[in-house]
Structure formats: structure tokens, C-alpha cells
């Protein structure tokens, strides 16, 4: 997964730190090499804003070769000085670079401060129990905030969580969401650059509700986070999960199954099955936990035909369900 946020360039007053402001002006004019040159010395001297801007340049490959390790190093220098945006980006890029355990404290801090991308990633980790204790109410709370802020990945994930998280936990999550901060509005010192193109794709270590593939699933965080005012919380309030009628009797020896999601480990997949099987009327089916690279696919069946599996998906009401096998 690659994060490609709007580049936010923080500049001090021109009289106090002229090179940083000069770099911001050059960046906005499209002269990225001049911007990087203007920030290099202040960054080396310890200016947190210049360090953050330089990290963004390395992350986007503007004015310098794209280098996520260099970006991480400069984000860390700025974050260690208390730079809020740098702390958020450090956690996200560490997660992207594979250091999920080291990333989570930074991501958690950014999520609590209102960063939608961090809320999406940390909420997914809490749902799956990745490098942290599984916490459905808090996972739902964070995903609700990220979805309300307009992050499409979070909106898709929230719909899937509605299928797996019990209603009481979702209600607790909605109450907790009201106490979580939102990202602060940009100040006059913030000079946003033209919206950058996404950085070339890099796979995110699995920490998701469902797997990308033939059916709708939780996308990776690859799009720019909208800067518009978050939508009202009520817009993300899920309806109660409706009980559905039992699926028909499975066909012994059938070669078709339905896939209900993909998870970071078998334990998460088993937990999802115990939650969804009764709700969706799937209790007559036999679950299968299929290892596929770094994820475990939750499937159920068997069915004699694709049509029967497709009908079972429709009857289950599980978002993202699709037939497999044959």
C-alpha cells in the first residue's frame, strides 16, 4: 500500500527562515530541485519544517529520486522534534516499509489526533489484532471517523465491519467516535502544493478486513485524503444487522464455495466465522481457512454449482462475498 497525501509544506515566516519559504515558493512553482536545494541546509541544521518538506520530496520523488528510506529518516528527525504531520507520516511509512510493530505507536498517536489515514490503518489493525490486542469497539470508532472524513477505503471497510462486528460493539464504537479528535484545519502558515500524483504502488503488509480481488474489498490507502470538511457523523451510522434466512443445505462433494473475506491470520478468520456464521444464516456450511501468501481466506461450502454459491452469497448479506472453485 502506498500513501499519497496532499503535500503539505509548513513554512516559518520568511524573515525568520527565508530558505524554507523559498523552497515552498519553488515547489509551488513546480521547480522541485530548487525547493529541495533550499531545504537541504536548514534540514541538516535541525529545522523541523525543512526536514518534513524534504521527507515529502523523497517520498514523492520530486526533485530527488524516490527513496522511502530517506523519507522515513527525515520524517523521524522532524517527528522527534514534535512535528505533528511528520509523526503521522513516519508511522504510515514505517508501516509501509514493513515495520508494523514500530509504526503502531506513531500511527496510534496520529489517529488520536485526527489523521484519517492513521485512523484507517490503526482501526484495521485493531480489528484484525495485528501487533495489538483486538478491540472491536475502538476499531469501529476509528473507522467511523476516517469514513466520515471522506476516506473511501475507510467507507468500504466500515461496511464490511458492519457484517462482522456485533451490534453492541458497533454502538460502543459510535459513542467512542464522538470523543476522538478530527484533523485540525490548516492554518495560514500551511502552504499546500499542487495535488501530487500517486507514488507508484507498493504492497501494504496485510492488515485488512477483506482481500482485494474479484469482489469489492477494503482497498489499500493509495489515494489523497480529501481536505474538505468531514461529513456529519450521522451519515456513517450503520443500520442494525438484519437476520437472514438460513442458506440451503450444502451439497456433499460439491466443488464450489463462497469467500467471505481474507484476514491477516487464521485466528482472525476463525473469529470472523464465529461472528458471521449465525448472523448470515451460514451455520449449515463448513468453513475453510485457505492460506494465500500472507493472508488467510475465509471460505464456506460446499455447493454443487456456481449458481448455488452465488445465491448463497446473496442470501448471506455479507458485503464482498463471491463464489470460488469449480
> Do 295 and 263 touch, CB atoms closer than 8 A?
yes
Q: pLDDT grade, residue 13 (50/70/90)?
A: very low
**CATH code of the domain containing 285:** 3.30.70.1070
Q: Residue 71, Cβ neighbours under 10 Å: how many?
A: 25
What is the pTM assigned to this prediction? 0.55
Helix (H, G, I), strand (E, B) or coil at 129: coil
Nearest CA among 197, 251, 152, 158 for reference residue 62: 197
In a domain, 1, yes or no: no
**Under 8 Å CB-to-CB from 107, ≥6 apart: which residues?**
88, 91, 92, 95, 118, 121, 122, 125
Is cis: bond before 302, omega within 30 of 0?
A: yes
Q: Where are the alpha helices (DSSP H) in the chain?
A: 18-28, 32-44, 48-60, 68-79, 84-96, 100-113, 116-128, 136-148, 152-164, 167-177, 266-279, 306-316
- Residue partners of 87: CB distance under 8 A and separation at least 6: 75, 79, 106, 109, 110
pLDDT tens per residue, range 281-314? 677 888 888 887 666 788 888 888 888 888 888 7
Q: Which of 277, 285, 230, 293 is nearest to 257 (CA)?
A: 285
250 within a domain of the structure (yes/no) = no
pLDDT 10s digits, 47-82: 999 999 999 999 999 999 999 889 999 999 999 999
Quick one: 225 and 306 in the same domain?
Answer: no
Helix or strand (DSSP H, E) at 287: strand 286-292
CB 35 within 8 A of CB 63: yes
Identify whether residues 298 and 209 lie together within a single domain. no
Is 81 in the same domain as 165? yes
Distance separating alpha carbons of residues 262 and 213, to the nearest angstrom: 10
Burial class (CB in 10 A: 0-12, 13-18, 19+), 326: exposed
User: What range does the domain containing 229 cover?
Assistant: 8-236
Structural domains counted in the chain:
2
Q: How far apart are CA 73 and CA 55, in angstroms?
A: 8
Residues 86 and 21 in one domain: yes
Backbone angles phi, psi at 183, to 5 degrees: -60, 135
Residues 289 and 228 in one domain: no
Establish if 171 belongs to a structural domain: yes
| One domain, residues 64 and 113 | yes
Q: Pick the residue with more confidence: 196 or 160?
A: 160
Quick one: 227 and 280 in the same domain?
Answer: no
- Residue of 302, 299, 277 whose CA lies nearest to 287: 299
Of 43-57, 75-89, 131-145, 175-189, the poorest mean pLDDT is in: 175-189
Amino acid at each position: 500500500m502506498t500513501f499519497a497525501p496532499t503535500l503539505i509544506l509548513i513554512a516559518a515566516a520568511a524573515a525568520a527562515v527565508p530558505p524554507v519559504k523559498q523552497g515552498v515558493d519553488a515547489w509551488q512553482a513546480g521547480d522541485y530541485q530548487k525547493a529541495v536545494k533550499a531545504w537541504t541546509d536548514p534540514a541538516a541544521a535541525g529545522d523541523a519544517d525543512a526536514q518534513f518538506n524534504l521527507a515529502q520530496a523523497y517520498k514523492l520523488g520530486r526533485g530527488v529520486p524516490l527513496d522511502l528510506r530517506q523519507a522515513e529518516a527525515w520524517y523521524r528527525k522532524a517527528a522527534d522534534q514534535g512535528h505533528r504531520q511528520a509523526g503521522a507520516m513516519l508511522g504510515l511509512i514505517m508501516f509501509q516499509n514493513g515495520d508494523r510493530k514500530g509504526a503502531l505507536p506513531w500511527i496510534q498517536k496520529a489517529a488520536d489526533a485526527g489523521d484519517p489515514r492513521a485512523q484507517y490503518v490503526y482501526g484495521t489493525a485493531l480489528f484484525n489484532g495485528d501487533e495489538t490486542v483486538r478491540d472491536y469497539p475502538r476499531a469501529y470508532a476509528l473507522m467511523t471517523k476516517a469514513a466520515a472524513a471522506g476516506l473511501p477505503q475507510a467507507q468500504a471497510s466500515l461496511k464490511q465491519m458492519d457484517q462482522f462486528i456485533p451490534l453492541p460493539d458497533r454502538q460502543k464504537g459510535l459513542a467512542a467516535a464522538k470523543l476522538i479528535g478530527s484533523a485540525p484545519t490548516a492554518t495560514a502558515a500551511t502552504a499546500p502544493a499542487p495535488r501530487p500524483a500517486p507514488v507508484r504502488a507498493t504492497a501494504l503488509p496485510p492488515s485488512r478486513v477483506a482481500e482485494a480481488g474479484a469482489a469489492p474489498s477494503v482497498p489499500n490507502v493509495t489515494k489523497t485524503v480529501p481536505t474538505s470538511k468531514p461529513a456529519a457523523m450521522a451519515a456513517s451510522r450503520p443500520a442494525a444487522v438484519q437476520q437472514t434466512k438460513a442458506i440451503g443445505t450444502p451439497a456433499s462433494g460439491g466443488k464450489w464455495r463462497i469467500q467471505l473475506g481474507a484476514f491477516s491470520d487464521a485466528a482472525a478468520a476463525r473469529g470472523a466465522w464465529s461472528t458471521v456464521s449465525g448472523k448470515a444464516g451460514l451455520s449449515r456450511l463448513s468453513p475453510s481457512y485457505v492460506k494465500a501468501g500472507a493472508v488467510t481466506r475465509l471460505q464456506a461450502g460446499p455447493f454443487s454449482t456456481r449458481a448455488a454459491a452465488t445465491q448463497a452469497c446473496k442470501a448471506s448479506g455479507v458485503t464482498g462475498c463471491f463464489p470460488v472453485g469449480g
